[in-house]
């Protein structure tokens, strides 16, 4: 069924939920914000002077307590759309039937693992371990690599973010997302340069080889990680660096070097995987490589806590021999049903194809905008995984940081949620639900055009 048909048959009256017309406010935002003093989790406050009080969602729209709707351009969790009726029904039905810890075998567990293996970038990755989040998946991936190789060193890339738990935090370097780890990085973690051929050390045609050669030097350094190398970890397309696509051939060369030293290659697909790139289901496929371990979360549960590690059986068996992995809620019946519903909807509503088509349309419109607005230095990324990098000067690439923040604030007033990302906070993060319509994409570009014409 088409996307429209699916939504129409499953939700008898979707229009009722849109609530586009502003209504009387039911919640005083000032009081709500004051009440939030008890938590540090409301991350929107770091982006906006007056963050919206979001009350409900519908497809790629979010609706606040005043009944205003926003196009959600940043939600890389709600991939199939907010409040998808098929997803909601599957989860609530399962909740009413059974939810328990993962010591029991239930069919949804086997079904989900089978379905994930069916998406595998290579048949060699045929074993799935279920957890609750991306951080846990990365922690587990690192543990698997260290147990399987019997080694300890890990190489990660600068400007990367892999999570907040101990090991995922240790391999994260993004100062913005992750201020804690800067203080004390464990000595088993080694950092290599981010292969950004727009503003990095190496640019132009030879960049892939030059970045790979830098990594080869790091591995060859007698005081470096090469002798006791357990793993190399990175995102196949670099989300936290601003949606940067590594220069073609970089990852293939790096994987070869890592394997030559006995290390394993971990692909963190928590942001980039699950069809977001449009052209491919996984980022590693876009880069033409096969990892030894792949991590996934965010999209996998469409907001319900669910993550996974996909790996080779022999690697998973090394962990099983230690007998030391158990997650109480990881892979619970409800999370498995949630995970199955997400995969079904991605397939039945052709959301990867939609990411490809709408992503191309968006890229074309943004390229046209860049011709008229010199503030746009570069449009990074692919599909619905993009970053619009804003610079004050196209030669010096001076980051337009305050401009980026002001533009996001103004876009919010105009009904679009878009946020700054990258180490320098000068990139507009574009990672919307994969059901983003062409109309919503145009709405975003038209508002951006308006704002860039001097509106901020």
Contact between 145 and 230 (Cβ < 8 Å): yes
CA 29 to chain CA mean position, Å: 29
Contact between 384 and 360 (Cβ < 8 Å): no
Contact between 138 and 224 (Cβ < 8 Å): no
- Minimum distance from residue 136 beta carbon to ligand PLP (Å): 7
Figure out which of the listed residues 75, 135, 196, 311 binds ligand PLP, where binding follows CB under 6 A: 135
Figure out which of the listed residues 161, 232, 255, 282 binds ligand PLP, where binding follows CB under 6 A: 161
Q: Which stretch binds ligand PLP (CB under 6 A): 57-65, 210-218, 267-275, 333-341?
A: 267-275
Closer residue to ligand PLP, CB minimum distance, 293 or 376: 293
Backbone angles phi, psi at 119, to 5 degrees: -90, -5
- Minimum distance from residue 268 beta carbon to ligand PLP (Å): 5
In the sheet with 385-390, reading across from the earlier edge strand, the strands are 376-382, 385-390, 427-430, 419-421
Binding to ligand PLP by residue 330, rule CB under 6 A? Answer: no
Q: Which stretch binds ligand PLP (CB under 6 A): 181-189, 263-271, 339-347, 383-391?
A: 263-271
Residue nearest to ligand PLP (CB): 134
Figure out which of the listed residues 86, 146, 162, 429 binds ligand PLP, where binding follows CB under 6 A: 162
**Closest Cα to residue 69, out of 21, 32, 30, 29?**
21
Backbone angles phi, psi at 388, to 5 degrees: -100, 105
Window 136-155: residues binding ligand PLP (CB under 6 A): 138
Q: Which stretch binds ligand PLP (CB under 6 A): 80-88, 268-276, 349-357, 443-451?
A: 268-276
- Minimum distance from residue 47 beta carbon to ligand PLP (Å): 15
Figure out which of the listed residues 268, 349, 389, 423 binds ligand PLP, where binding follows CB under 6 A: 268
Q: What is the Cα–Cα distance from 69 to 62, expressed in whole angstroms?
A: 6
23 contact partners, CB below 8 Å, separation of at least 6: 66, 67
Point out which residues pair with 265 in neighbouring strands. 232
Binding to ligand PLP by residue 134, rule CB under 6 A? Answer: yes
Q: How many chain residues touch ligand PLP (CB under 6 A)?
A: 14
Q: What is the Cα–Cα distance from 443 to 251, expressed in whole angstroms?
A: 36
Q: Which stretch binds ligand PLP (CB under 6 A): 150-158, 161-169, 257-265, 350-358?
A: 161-169
Q: Which stretch binds ligand PLP (CB under 6 A): 264-272, 278-286, 405-413, 433-441?
A: 264-272
Window 290-319: residues binding ligand PLP (CB under 6 A): 297-298
Backbone angles phi, psi at 453, to 5 degrees: -75, 15
Binding to ligand PLP by residue 65, rule CB under 6 A? Answer: no
Residue 260 burial (CB count, 10 A) = 12
Closer residue to ligand PLP, CB minimum distance, 225 or 243: 243
Window 346-405: residues binding ligand PLP (CB under 6 A): none
Encoded tokens for 84: 């998808």
Encoded tokens for 157: 């890339």
Point out which residues pair with 346 in neighbouring strands. none
Binding to ligand PLP by residue 235, rule CB under 6 A? Answer: yes
Tell me the Cα Rg of the chain. 22
393 contact partners, CB below 8 Å, separation of at least 6: none
User: Exposed (0-12), middle (13-18) or buried (19+): which is 395, by Cβ within 10 Å?
Assistant: exposed
- Minimum distance from residue 102 beta carbon to ligand PLP (Å): 18
- Minimum distance from residue 289 beta carbon to ligand PLP (Å): 17
- Minimum distance from residue 163 beta carbon to ligand PLP (Å): 4
Binding to ligand PLP by residue 270, rule CB under 6 A? Answer: yes
- Minimum distance from residue 360 beta carbon to ligand PLP (Å): 24
Which secondary-structure segment (H or E) carries 234? strand 229-234
Point out which residues pair with 308 in neighbouring strands. 130, 296
Q: What residues line the site for ligand PLP (CB under 6 A)?
A: 133-135, 138, 161-163, 235, 239, 268, 270-271, 297-298
């Amino acid at each position: 069924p088409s996307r429209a048909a699916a939504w129409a048959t499953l939700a008898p009256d979707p229009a009722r939920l849109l609530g586009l017309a502003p209504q009387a406010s039911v919640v005083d935002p000032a009081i709500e914000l004051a009440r939030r003093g008890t938590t540090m989790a409301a991350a929107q406050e770091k982006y906006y002077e007056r963050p919206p009080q979001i009350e409900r969602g519908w497809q790629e729209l979010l609706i606040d307590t005043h009944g205003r709707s926003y196009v959600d351009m940043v939600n890389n969790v709600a991939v199939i759309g907010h409040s998808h009726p098929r997803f909601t029904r599957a989860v609530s039905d399962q909740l009413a039937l059974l939810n328990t810890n993962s010591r029991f075998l239930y069919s949804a567990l086997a079904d989900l693992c089978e379905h994930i293996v069916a998406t595998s970038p290579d048949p060699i990755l045929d074993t799935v371990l279920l957890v609750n989040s991306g951080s846990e998946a990365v922690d587990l991936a690192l543990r698997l690599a260290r147990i399987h190789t019997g080694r300890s060193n890990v190489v990660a890339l600068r400007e990367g973010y892999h999570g907040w738990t101990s090991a995922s935090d240790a391999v994260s370097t993004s100062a913005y997302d992750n201020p804690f780890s800067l203080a004390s990085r464990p000595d088993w973690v080694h950092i290599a340069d981010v292969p950004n051929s727009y503003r990095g050390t190496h640019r132009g045609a030879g960049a892939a080889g030059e970045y790979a050669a830098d990594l080869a030097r790091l591995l060859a350094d007698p005081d470096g990680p090469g002798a006791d190398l357990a793993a190399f970890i990175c995102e196949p397309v670099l989300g936290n660096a601003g949606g940067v696509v590594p220069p073609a051939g970089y990852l293939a060369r790096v994987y070869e070097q890592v394997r030559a030293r006995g290390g394993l290659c971990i692909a963190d697909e928590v942001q980039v995987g699950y069809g977001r790139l449009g052209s491919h289901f996984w980022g590693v496929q876009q880069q033409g490589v096969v990892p030894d371990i792949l991590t996934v979360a965010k999209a996998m549960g469409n907001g319900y806590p669910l993550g996974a590690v996909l790996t080779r059986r022999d690697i998973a068996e090394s962990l099983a021999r230690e007998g030391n992995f158990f997650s109480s809620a990881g892979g619970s019946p409800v999370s498995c049903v949630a995970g199955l519903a997400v995969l079904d909807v991605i397939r039945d509503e052709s959301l990867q194809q939609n990411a490809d088509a709408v992503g191309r349309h968006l890229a074309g419109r943004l390229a046209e905008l860049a011709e008229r607005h010199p503030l746009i230095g570069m449009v990074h990324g692919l599909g619905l995984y993009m970053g619009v990098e804003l610079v004050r000067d196209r030669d010096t690439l001076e980051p337009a940081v305050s401009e980026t923040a002001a533009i996001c604030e103004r876009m919010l007033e105009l009904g679009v949620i878009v946020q700054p990302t990258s180490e320098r906070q000068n990139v507009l993060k574009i990672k919307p639900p994969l059901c983003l319509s062409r109309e919503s994409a145009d709405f975003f570009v038209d508002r951006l055009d308006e704002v860039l014409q001097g509106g901020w």
